[in-house]
Amino acid sequence: MIDGLNSLDLEKPDRLVTHSWLSYSFQRHPLRYNARFELVFQTANQAGVLNPITATMASEIEGWSSVDSTLRGPVESRLAAGEHLVAWMVSDIDEQRQYRMSLLALSQHRFFCSTHAEVRDWPLAEIDKLRTKDRGGLGTLELLGTDRRLGFWHYTIAQGPAALVVGDRFEDLKAGRDARKQIEEDDVPEGEESESPPNTLALFRLWQFARPHAFWMFIAFVLSLAATVAAVETAKVIRPLTNLLYSYQSREVTSLSGSEWYLGVMLAGAAVAWILSWGQGAILAWVSERVTADLRNRTYSHLQKLSLEYFGGKRTGDLMSRISSDSDRLTQFLSDSIVDFSANSILLVVVAVALFQENLPLAFVTLLPFPFIVWLMYYSRDKLQVGFQAGSRAWANMTSVLADTIPGIRVVKAFAQEEREIERFRTANETVVVANNRVNSLWTFFWPLITFLNALGVFVVWAYGVRLVLHRAPDFDVGALTAFVVLSGMFYSKLEMMSRMVNASQRAATSAQRIFEILDRVSNVPEPARPVIVGKLRGDLEFRHVGFRYGNRKVIKDFSLKVQAGEMIGLVGHTGAGKSTLINLVCRFFDVAEGAILADGVDIRSYKIEQYRRNVGIVLQDPFLFYGTIAENIAYGRPEATRDEIMNAARAARAHEFILQLADGYDSLVGERGQSLSGGERQRISIARALLIDPRILILDEATSALDSTTERQIQEALQNLVRGRTTIAIAHRLSTLRQANRIMVIERGRLVEIGTHDELLAIDGAYAELHRAQQELTRDIGW
Amino acid sequence: MIENLASLNFRKDAWGQLVLIRPDGTEHSGVEPVRCFPLSDPERSIALLDSDGKELANLPDLSVLNPSARAALQQELEEREFAPVIQRITTTSTPNPPCQWQVVTDRGTTSFQLESEDDIRRLGTDGAVIADSHGIRYKIPDITRLDGHSQKIIRRLI
Ligand SMILES: Nc1ncnc2c1ncn2[C@@H]1O[C@H](COP(=O)(O)OP(=O)(O)O)[C@@H](O)[C@H]1O
Ligand SMILES: [Mg+2]
């Protein structure tokens, strides 16, 4: 019996409960499951001729072969001829809530569960419902019979989409629906591929920003190389000069002729080194300023493109300190330290070569402490990095306190909590001190130790040189010793500078890593890979089984609705019902976790975000104005708007008159976040702002909640003209606001519970009627 | 709200749902116990919600219940909680987030994606709670009791 779909014996079809959609938001890692579950209903044979389908059919479900064969095998061997699997999932947590795998699979006749111990199965006829629920990240699939629960399995949310498909296919089988159509509907537009972050050290990744300036960096490098060679070559006159002076003093020679030449070489060498390092310093300072400015720009523009979800979990102060003070630290490192580092490491090599040329055994002795110092630097590096991370974090924490309390200063004052905020800042500041002290104490220990070892290096030269002179070693004289001392002094002083680099580079690496953390974040609202070009939308909207969750809290559940272009929909429901969330989805501030929202019949994820948002005007619950003039704020979405257009929008929003009352009219500054305006005034400006872009879809999220009834009525009259021909979704608590709405929908806990005109809803006497009654009573009571 | 907490009783129905039996014998099925302060004070203030999310009772702690009811509720709470306790951090893909952690927990070994250091929350002086990219929470009751390697990994992030 293959075409079992139509002949499935449904014992109690009336008991079928509509499938509850799981809303899994894979906000951070959008999992796309559509491709994985290829259905096999095409094998259902209408002519009733048996198709030779074998158990190997199972392997045709994508991903099936990746399942552990000890789980998969027993299920395959149980399949009857003609039976094939339509969906499967892995339950990765067992009944005792331990991590252990079992496999759940659905064929057209049975539901299987395969653990490592056994395989069980239930005929579909015995199963009334497959229910999925989830709580705190733990999902549960329940197999419900008509009179009891047959079984349940847990899974982590990563398995959620698969669980959803299993539930879906079960519904399809029960309803005898053709599931192939369903698959097409589920097709999710593919998001743009984002390259995975390279897994290298943060400092090396700075190279991608430095590459455009590679030429200048190369020039700087050549200059520093030349300066180094000049310094070393100059040191070569030390030996003959010293010997000359020595001979003159011991009266072996009577004239100092030639010493002018040596002195001249020294002076020239110093001058050349000066000019060269000047050029190199200037170039690198410019390059490093450029590189970090580019890095800052890239970080900020990346930040702007990240979805709201990212900002929800981030503290403003932390982000600010990453972009400002961390990048500043990088500039310092790039301009000062990297210069020193490249120059010094070249110098070390050149000096070492010079030392070896002079005297082989002495050179070996001179470099004796060198490996030890390098090891010490390496060792301290690791310790320092941890310290610097703590330091950066403490700093960000302190900035966060500022970013939190300064905008909230009115609340602080209103509740007289100044002292507490001072204390909070002091504590944060103290953590900075503690973190820095830790680094400092580490560093103040390592640094003198390294200095000591460096001095030891020079000391060894003296000691060994004295021994050589004492034993009258051939080819060695006081001049050679002096030259050696100067060279080794040069070597160790550079090494000392380099060890200071350890500190700077670790600090910079920490900062670089903090910046790259932003850059590596992928937006959860990805741009489509193959965008559908759109100019002006018509304004049809359709919600198809939309589900959404914040973290692991379900907020929107199985929401379906069709809105025609030009229709005005009123949206009512208790606070927290998910109204704002729903319109966030329409605006693509977040992406739906399942189902789809279609505008003009196309999934909104297929449009380029920017083009799509041009069509959507939104007035938010808490209107945000930017620092600037009123005119600038109204024209925010369309900076090229003319003054007349701005005024017309303001008139429509009933803002014109109050704006004219202000001292500077449309040129008045509104202050940060518009704090110099009242709540109602801000709302009216934000309505004007939304109207100015002439959107096809207008969204009003309690846009008139802060207005008095008269002003609201005026705006409504104005909106009546403006709303015409636009798709409007208006959220309101005052039901009177929604008088013009074509249809009103009532949302309760993320579900659409009622929809219809005002009269229809009153007639069915449900949730809406109740709200209506409550408001009427209130109006009567207080004469509102 | 129910007053006489000591005379409350619970049972499980055939559907696996928790049923609350009031002193007068009326039943509420699909009752959910919820800890009000799951992180800071999990043992106190446990609310009982009906299937609509309305609060039926709030228990100051489990000891107010009679022994059989307490056992039933304890069992139910355990069944609905999933917060593995990290015993050892085996490896991390990179020292800094975003990274993949391989951990040994009281519920077996697993791995998860840690998105950002902000997802690690301190609890008291020595405890920590880590939320992975899917919102599953992992607990570390006392960092100082972890082995040195694990401590090092976590300390650099908090
Ligand atoms: N950014 C967010 N993160 C987590 N939860 C949220 C977020 N925004 C809203 N919620 C929760 O989602 C639910 C619906 O919120 P919302 O859509 O704003 O309700 P309303 O219907 O009042 O506009 C609320 O319970 C709220 O607590
Ligand atoms: Mg809202």
The rounded distance, in Å, linking the Cα atoms of A764 and A755 is 10
Q: What percent of chain A has pLDDT over 70?
A: 87
Which residues have C-beta under 5 Å from ligand 2, the single-atom ion? A 580
- Residue A578, Cα to own-chain centre: how many angstroms? 24
Taking residue A367's Cβ as centre, other Cβ atoms within 10 Å add up to 19
**Could B15 and A138 be called an inter-chain contact, meaning their C-beta atoms sit closer than 8 Å?**
no
Tokens 């938001």 identify what position? Answer: A25
Q: Say which range, A237-246, A473-482, A735-744, has the weakest mean pLDDT.
A: A473-482
As a whole number, mean pLDDT of residues A605-621 equals: 87
| Cis previous bond, A531, omega within 30 | no
Query: For B101-119, how does the pLDDT look when each residue is reduced to its tens digit (9 = 90+)?
Result: 999 999 999 999 888 887 8
Which residues on neighbouring strands pair with residue B57, listed in sequence order?
Answer: B48
Q: Residue A320 in contact with residue A399, Cβ under 8 Å? A: yes
As a whole number, mean pLDDT of residues A439-461 equals: 85
**Which residues 6+ apart lie within 8 Å of A604 measured at CB?**
A586, A588, A596, A597, A598, A612
**Which residues 6+ apart lie within 8 Å of A117 measured at CB?**
none
Tokens 């009000």 identify what position? Answer: B36
Q: Which residues of A37-73 are buried (b: 16+ CB within 10 A; e: fewer)?
A: bebbbeeeeeeeeeeebebebbeebeebeebeeebbe
Q: What percent of chain A has pLDDT over 90?
A: 8
Residue A773, token pair as written in the block: 């009654």
Q: Residue B15 in contact with residue A148, Cβ under 8 Å? A: yes
Q: What is the pLDDT of residue A177?
A: 64
Q: Residue A540 in contact with residue A729, Cβ under 8 Å? A: no
The β-bridge relationship of strands B32-35 and B27-29 is unpaired
Q: Which of A308, A549, A555, A557 has most ligand 1 atoms within 8 Å of CB, for mutation?
A: A555
How many alpha carbons lie under 13 Å from residue A125 in its C-beta half-sphere?
A: 7
Q: What is the pLDDT of residue A158?
A: 79
User: Which long-range contacts link A240-244 to residues 24+ away (Cβ below 8 Å)?
Assistant: A240/A479, A241/A479, A242/A478, A242/A479, A242/A482, A242/A483, A243/A477, A243/A478, A243/A479
In three-state form (DSSP H/G/I as H, E/B as E, the rest C), the secondary structure along A544-605 is: EEEEEEECCEEEEEEEEEEECCCCEEEEECCCCCCHHHHHHHHCCCCCCCEEEEEECCEEHH
The rounded distance, in Å, linking the Cα atoms of A226 and A440 is 35
| Chain B residues with beta carbon closer than 8 angstroms to that of A93 | 82, 107
Q: Where are the domains of chain B?
A: 5-80, 86-157
| Chain A residues with beta carbon closer than 8 angstroms to that of B81 | 136
- Residue B105, Cα to own-chain centre: how many angstroms? 14
Q: What is the pLDDT of residue A746?
A: 92
In three-state form (DSSP H/G/I as H, E/B as E, the rest C), the secondary structure along A696-716 is: CEEEEECCCCCCCHHHHHHHH
**Which residues 6+ apart lie within 8 Å of A178 measured at CB?**
A41, A172
Q: What is the pLDDT of residue A572?
A: 92
The rounded distance, in Å, linking the Cα atoms of A614 and A535 is 9
- Residue A591, Cα to own-chain centre: how many angstroms? 15
Instruction: State the ligand closest to the CA atom of A749.
Output: 1
Tell me the pLDDT of chain A averaged across its residues.
80
Q: Is the CB of A579 under 6 A from ligand 1?
A: yes
Residue predicted with more confidence, A507 or B143: B143
For domain A202-403+431-519, the CATH class is mainly alpha
Q: Is the pLDDT of residue B7 over 70?
A: yes
Q: What is the pLDDT of residue A715?
A: 74
Query: For B38-76, how does the pLDDT look when each residue is reduced to its tens digit (9 = 90+)?
Result: 888 888 889 999 888 888 888 998 888 999 999 999 988
Tell the residue nearest (CA) to atom 19 of ligand 1. A576
Q: Is the CB of A735 under 6 A from ligand 1?
A: no
Query: For A121-153, how does the pLDDT look when each residue is reduced to its tens digit (9 = 90+)?
Result: 899 888 888 888 877 778 889 998 888 888 889
Tell the residue nearest (CA) to atom 9 of ligand 1. A581
As a whole number, mean pLDDT of residues A622-632 equals: 86
- From B2, B48, B37, B1, select the one nearest B23 (Cα to Cα): B2
As a whole number, mean pLDDT of residues A410-431 equals: 90
Among partner residues A157, A318, A390, which is closest to B134 by beta-carbon distance? A157
Confidence of residue A36 (pLDDT cuts 50, 70, 90): very low
Residue A311, token pair as written in the block: 């900002």
Q: Say which range, A5-9, A177-181, A747-751, has the weakest mean pLDDT.
A: A5-9
What burial class does residue A606 get, using C-beta atoms within 10 Å of its C-beta: 0-12 exposed, 13-18 middle, 19+ buried?
buried
As a whole number, mean pLDDT of residues A327-331 equals: 83
Q: Is the CB of A575 under 6 A from ligand 1?
A: yes
Q: What percent of chain B has pLDDT over 90?
A: 25
Residue predicted with more confidence, A40 or B138: B138
Mutation to test the B interface, candidates A149, A392, A397, most B Cβ within 10 Å: A149
User: What is the DSSP annotation of A610-642?
Assistant: HHHHTTEEEE-SS----SSBHHHHHTTT-TT--
**Which residues 6+ apart lie within 8 Å of A64 measured at CB?**
A58, A72, A85, A88
As a whole number, mean pLDDT of residues A494-515 equals: 81
Q: What share of chain B is helix, strand, coil (3-state, %, to 5)?
A: 20, 40, 40
CB–CB contacts below 8 A, A to B: 79
Cα A701 to middle of ligand 2, angstroms: 7
Instruction: State the ligand closest to the CA atom of A583.
Output: 1
Cα A579 to middle of ligand 2, angstroms: 6
Q: Is the pLDDT of residue A47 over 80?
A: no
The rounded distance, in Å, linking the Cα atoms of A667 and A393 is 41
- From A481, A453, A485, A488, select the one nearest A466 (Cα to Cα): A481
Mutation to test the A interface, candidates B113, B115, B116, B134, most A Cβ within 10 Å: B134
- Residue A278, Cα to own-chain centre: how many angstroms? 41
User: Which long-range contacts link A210-216 to residues 24+ away (Cβ below 8 Å)?
Assistant: A210/A287, A210/A291, A210/A334, A212/A294, A213/A287, A213/A290, A213/A291, A216/A283, A216/A286, A216/A287
Q: Residue A650 in contact with residue A688, Cβ under 8 Å? A: yes
Instruction: State the ligand closest to the CA atom of A582.
Output: 1
Cα A593 to middle of ligand 2, angstroms: 19
Q: Is the CB of A301 under 6 A from ligand 1?
A: no
Residue A87 DSSP SS3: strand
**Which residues 6+ apart lie within 8 Å of A63 measured at CB?**
A36
Q: Say which range, A330-344, A359-373, A540-554, A561-575, has the weakest mean pLDDT.
A: A330-344
Confidence of residue A199 (pLDDT cuts 50, 70, 90): very low
Q: Is the pLDDT of residue A8 over 50?
A: no
Residue A317, token pair as written in the block: 């102060």
Tell me which H or E stretch contains A71.
helix A69-78
Q: Say which range, A96-100, A116-120, A340-344, A580-584, has the weakest mean pLDDT.
A: A340-344
As a whole number, mean pLDDT of residues A589-616 equals: 88
Q: What is the pLDDT of residue A421?
A: 92
Q: Is the CB of A102 under 6 A from ligand 1?
A: no
Q: Is the CB of A549 under 6 A from ligand 1?
A: no
Q: Is the pLDDT of residue B99 over 80?
A: yes
Length of chain B: 158
CA angle A719, A756, A748 (to 5 degrees): 95
Q: Is the pLDDT of residue A423 over 90?
A: yes
As a whole number, mean pLDDT of residues A756-779 equals: 86
Query: For A51-74, how does the pLDDT look when each residue is reduced to its tens digit (9 = 90+)?
Result: 333 434 444 677 788 888 888 888
Domain boundaries A538-615+698-707+732-784, corresponding CATH code: 3.40.50.300
B111 part of contact set with chain A, CB < 8 Å: no
Residue B122 DSSP SS3: strand
Question: Phi and psi (nearest 5°) for B111?
Answer: -140, 155
Q: Which residues of A471-488 are buried (b: 16+ CB within 10 A; e: fewer)?
A: eeeeebbebbbbbbbbbb
For chain A, give every residue range classified as CATH 3.40.50.300.
Answer: 538-615+698-707+732-784
DSSP A472: T
Tokens 């789980």 identify what position? Answer: A71
Q: What is the pLDDT of residue A339?
A: 64
Tokens 């907020």 identify what position? Answer: A555
Say what the ipTM of the complex is.
Answer: 0.89
Q: Is the pLDDT of residue A169 over 50?
A: yes
Residue A121 DSSP SS3: strand
Q: Residue B140 in contact with residue B146, Cβ under 8 Å? A: yes
Query: For A707-729, how does the pLDDT look when each residue is reduced to its tens digit (9 = 90+)?
Result: 787 877 777 776 776 677 789 99
Q: Is the CB of A578 under 6 A from ligand 1?
A: yes
As a whole number, mean pLDDT of residues A490-518 equals: 82
The β-bridge relationship of strands A602-603 and B86-92 is unpaired
Residue type, A391: G
As a whole number, mean pLDDT of residues A98-114 equals: 89
Q: Is the pLDDT of residue A2 over 50?
A: no
Cα A590 to middle of ligand 2, angstroms: 15
**Could A157 and B97 be called an inter-chain contact, meaning their C-beta atoms sit closer than 8 Å?**
no
**Which residues 6+ apart lie within 8 Å of A372 measured at CB?**
A453
The rounded distance, in Å, linking the Cα atoms of B105 and B108 is 5
Q: Does domain A37-181 have CATH number 2.30.29.30?
A: yes
Q: Is the pLDDT of residue A191 over 50?
A: yes
Taking residue B55's Cβ as centre, other Cβ atoms within 10 Å add up to 12
Tokens 């620092």 identify what position? Answer: A627
Q: Residue A612 in contact with residue A668, Cβ under 8 Å? A: no
Q: Is the pLDDT of residue A192 over 70?
A: no
Q: Is the pLDDT of residue A14 over 60?
A: no
Residue B110, token pair as written in the block: 């697993």
Q: Say which range, A373-382, A747-756, B74-83, has the weakest mean pLDDT.
A: A373-382
Question: Phi and psi (nearest 5°) for A636?
Answer: -60, -40
As a whole number, mean pLDDT of residues A698-702 equals: 88
Q: What are the CA-CA distances from residue B50 to residues A14, A259, A573 (Å)?
A: 26, 102, 21
